[in-house]
Amino acid sequence: MTSTTVVATKKPRRKGSSAKAFAWIIPGYFFFIAFLLIPLLLTVLLSFTDWNGFSYDQIRTNGIDNYIRLAKDTVFLQALVHNVAFLLGSVVLKTVLALALALAFRRAFPLSNLFQGIFLVPTTLSLVVVGIVLKFVLDPNNGLINPLLTSIGLGSFAGSWLADPSRALPILIFLDVWVGFGLYLFIFLSSMSSLPGDVFEAAKVDGAGSWKETIYVTIPMLADTIKLVVLLAAIDSLKVFATIYVSTGGGPNHATEVLSTWAFFQAFSGNQVGYGSAILVVLLVITLILAFFYTRQSRADRKSGDSK
C-alpha cells in the first residue's frame, strides 16, 4: 500500500491586489478626513476661541472661558436636561415598542409583512419634512388635530400644542420614537431569526407556554441585542436637531431647547462661534462615551458568537 502526501501550497498574492484594494479605500478615507475628522478638530479648536464667524483675522483664543461660561448658562443647563429627557424617554420607548412588535411579528399572522414595511417607512422620511408636517398638523388655528378633537367631542383636549411648554417636549419625544423605532424592530427580528430552535423545542417539552417562553427564554437570549439597541438608540437620540429646529426652534421659551439647537443659535444667530463650538464639544463627549460602550458591547458580542 502506498501513501500519497498532499502538500498544500499557499497561493502567491497578486502584485496588483494591494494597490487595487488601497485605491478602493482611498475615497472612504478622503471623505472621512475631509467631512468628519477635520470639521471635528476645527470645532474643538474653535471652542477655545472668541470668534464672531465673519473674518478669520478676528479669531482670538480665550482659553477655557467658553467652558466656564457653560456652567453659568441657564439655557445650556436646561438644554442638557432636555437632552437627557430625550435620551431616557426615546430610548425606553423605542426599545420597548420595537421589542414588543418583534415578539408579535415572530408569530406570523396575516399581513404581518405589510405591517413590518409600514413601520419601517418613517425611518426613510426626511426629518425636515417630518418637522414641517408636524408643525402644520398641530397648528392651533389652521391645523388638523384641534378640529378633529372638537368634532368627536374631545374639544377640551385641544390647545396650542407646540406652543405649550408642558406639551411640546413630550410631543417631540414621541415623534422621535415614531421616526426611529422601525430600524430597531428589524434589528430584533434579525436577531430572533438566528436564535437556536432546539432551545424553544426543549421549552415546549418542559410545558412552557408562549408567555413563559417569551419571558424566560426569548428575552434572556436577546439580552445582548437589547444592550446594543439601547446604546444605539441613545446615540441616535443625541443627534436630534432637524425636527426641533423646524417645528419649534427650541421654543416656547426654550422649553424644547437641546444642545444642538442652542449651539446652532449661538454660532449662527448670536455670532458666537467659539461658544457654540464649546456646546457641541460637550455633546460630542457625551456621544463618544456612548459610542465607546456601544463598540465594546459589539466586540463582546462578536467574541461570544465566535466562541459558540
Residue 1 has a pLDDT of 44
Using pLDDT thresholds of 50, 70 and 90, give the confidence band for residue 307. low
Can you tell me which residue has the cell 372638537? 150
CA distances from 306 to 159, 167, 227, 238, 302 (A): 55, 48, 19, 32, 6
* pLDDT at 148 > cutoff 60: yes
**Residue 237 falls inside a structural domain:** yes
Q: What percentage of the chain exceeds 90 in pLDDT?
A: 56
Mean pLDDT for the stretch of residues 235-251? 93
* pLDDT at 131 > cutoff 90: yes
Give strand ranges (E) for the chain.
Answer: 49-50, 60-61
Q: What is the pTM of this model?
A: 0.85
CATH code for the domain of 181: 1.10.3720.10
Q: Per the structure, how many domains does the chain have? A: 1
Per-residue model confidence as pLDDT tens digits over 154-198: 888 888 999 999 999 999 999 999 999 999 999 999 998 888 878
Burial of 21 (0-12, 13-18, 19+ CB in 10 A): exposed
**Residue 42 falls inside a structural domain:** no
* pLDDT at 9 > cutoff 60: no
CA distances from 289 to 51, 197, 285, 295 (A): 28, 36, 6, 10
**Residue 51 falls inside a structural domain:** no
Per-residue model confidence as pLDDT tens digits over 249-290: 999 999 999 999 999 999 999 999 999 999 999 999 999 998
Evaluate whether 256 touches 172 at the Cβ level (below 8 Å): yes
**Residue 23 falls inside a structural domain:** no
* pLDDT at 5 > cutoff 70: no
Per-residue model confidence as pLDDT tens digits over 56-94: 888 999 999 999 999 999 999 999 999 999 999 999 999
**Residue 110 falls inside a structural domain:** yes
Mean pLDDT for the stretch of residues 5-14? 50
**Residue 46 falls inside a structural domain:** no
Residue 141 has a pLDDT of 86
**Residue 179 falls inside a structural domain:** yes
Residue 152: which domain range? 73-307
**Residue 20 falls inside a structural domain:** no
6 by DSSP, 3-state: which? coil
